Amino acid sequence: MTERQEHSKGGVYSVPGQAFERDSRYITTRITKDGADGYAVEAGRYRLVAARACPWANRTLIVRRLLGLEDAISVGLPGPTHDADSWTFDLDEGGLDPVLGIHRLKDAYLARDPHYSKGITVPAIVDTRDGAVVTNDFAQITLDFSTEWTDFHRDGAPDLYPAHLREEMDALMRYIYTEINNGVYRCGFAGSQEAYASAYYRLFDALDTVSERLETRRFLMGESITEADVRLFTTLVRFDAVYHGHFKTNRSKLSEMPVLWAYARDLFQTPGFGDTVDFQQIKSHYYEVHRDINPSGIVPLGPDPAVWLTAHGRETMGGRPFGDGTPPGPVKPGEEVTPDGRADA
């Protein structure tokens, strides 16, 4: 492992003998109703760039779909692999994003700041007027989808960030991020056996904790889906396909943790979740890009994704997945997950 290792998808730092540390220097500009940061909510103005392979980007695809923001915010979908320089639009005709007209996401970052030197990350929201990135602050993007873009929510959109639950949710989501979302990376990019062991036990302690929480409630905050579920799901859905082997999180497969496995399948089978997931792209990204962990670049053929459609039994717990709202309709034409991972935007 190199002394300082950085990946375009996040800014990943790992030093031999030390614990993994994520580079979290993001562009924190917000798009708001009042346009306080210089960017006002406006349908058709912004383009979300979100690779299906990336768990942080997957969050934005799920929330955008649950809230019905597809017509207000267009989407660009980079391919699952990238070089050390940038995510690229290799799934689009001619390798060119059809709206932004660029081959590399890096170009949108440089349009914002010609001297930009931080990570070229997804998700990123780009202003189509000048082709410049507005924000790549993934945690805030989805919260703003819920709170700032309400004028463009679909009829029946769920409340993913209920005001009366926010204090508890914020604490829970911080825990999920530090211990689980980022926890799998601490295992995968540990710089020593000691750092790996510490990360391993910390991760599974957290998974056991949320499993206990979900024994008595269908979703993390109770009877309805919230942003907290979205954040946990994107790690769980990648667990057996990638993290268990590639990141050595192998105490148990997700499919061997009964409560979490049933919970994850419940969400996967809910419109807005599984229909944003492309297992082939997920595996291709991790196993082909992380050559320091997987030098051969060989991508595993399993596991069979059909297991995600098996009965989960969580409906017997009752609840209202969409609260007072309704499920989203069919996936927007051109955004379907297809066998070769292509999607027209």
Which CATH number does the domain housing residue 292 bear? 1.20.1050.10
| 54 classed as catalytic | yes
Residues 313 and 179 in one domain: yes
One domain for residues 179 and 145: no
Residue 187 is among the residues annotated as catalytic for this protein:
no
Question: Given 118, 133, 152, which residue is the final one in a domain?
Answer: 152
In a domain, 26, yes or no: yes
What's the CA gap between 16 and 28, in Å, rounded?
30
Q: Which residue has the tokens 């999607």?
A: 343
145 & 227 share domain? no
Q: Which of 120, 152, 184 is the last residue of a domain?
A: 152
- Domain membership of residue 178 (yes or no) is yes
Q: Are residues 144 and 167 in the same domain?
A: no
pLDDT of residue 311: 98
Answer yes or no: do 223 and 105 share one domain: no
Q: What is the CATH number of the domain that holds 128?
A: 3.40.30.10
Of 129, 152, 175, the position where a domain reaches its end is 152
Q: Do 168 and 133 reside in the same domain of the chain?
A: no
Q: What is the pTM of this model?
A: 0.94
Flag whether 2 is in a domain: no
Q: How many domains does the chain have?
A: 2
The answer on 104 and 82 residing in a single domain is yes
Task: Kindly state whether residues 176 and 117 are assigned to the same domain.
Answer: no
My answer on whether 301 and 186 are in the same domain is: yes
For residue 325, being part of any structural domain is answered with no
Query: Would you say 136 and 27 are in contact if contact means Cβ atoms under 8 Å apart?
Result: yes
Helix (H) / strand (E) containing 132:
strand 132-135
Catalytic residue among 26, 46, 54, 263: 54
The per-residue pLDDT string of the chain (345 residues; one tens digit each, 9 = 90 and over) reads: 222 333 434 455 445 557 777 777 899 999 999 999 999 999 999 999 999 999 999 999 999 999 999 999 999 999 999 988 899 999 999 999 999 999 999 999 999 999 999 899 999 999 999 999 999 999 999 999 999 999 999 999 999 999 999 999 999 999 999 999 999 999 999 999 999 999 999 999 999 999 999 999 999 999 999 999 999 999 999 999 999 999 999 999 999 999 999 999 999 999 999 999 999 999 999 999 999 999 999 999 999 999 999 999 999 999 999 999 999 999 999 999 975 444 444
128/75 same-domain check: yes
Note whether residue 322 is domain-resident: no
CA distances from 52 to 172, 290, 322 (A): 25, 17, 23
Report how far residue 169's alpha carbon sits from residue 167's, in angstroms, rounded to the nearest whole number: 5
**Is 168 within a domain?**
yes
40 in any annotated domain: yes
For the record, the structure tokens of 129 come out as: 């007027």
> What is residue 12's predicted lDDT score, i.e. its pLDDT?
52
In a domain, 329, yes or no: no
What pLDDT is attached to residue 338? 74
173 and 293 inside one domain: yes
Residues 6+ apart with CB under 8 A from 33: 40, 41, 148, 151
Residue 345 to residues 35, 70, 124, 282, 300, Cα–Cα distance (Å): 26, 10, 16, 20, 29
Give pLDDT, residue 7: 41
Domain boundaries, position 270: 163-317
- Cα–Cα distances in angstroms (integers) from residue 131 to residues 70, 241, 294, in the given order: 19, 35, 35
Residues 69 and 189 in one domain: no
Q: Which of 46, 109, 185, 243 is catalytic?
A: 185
CA distance 102 to 327: 34
- Both tokens assigned to 25: 């220097």
| pLDDT value of residue 183 | 98
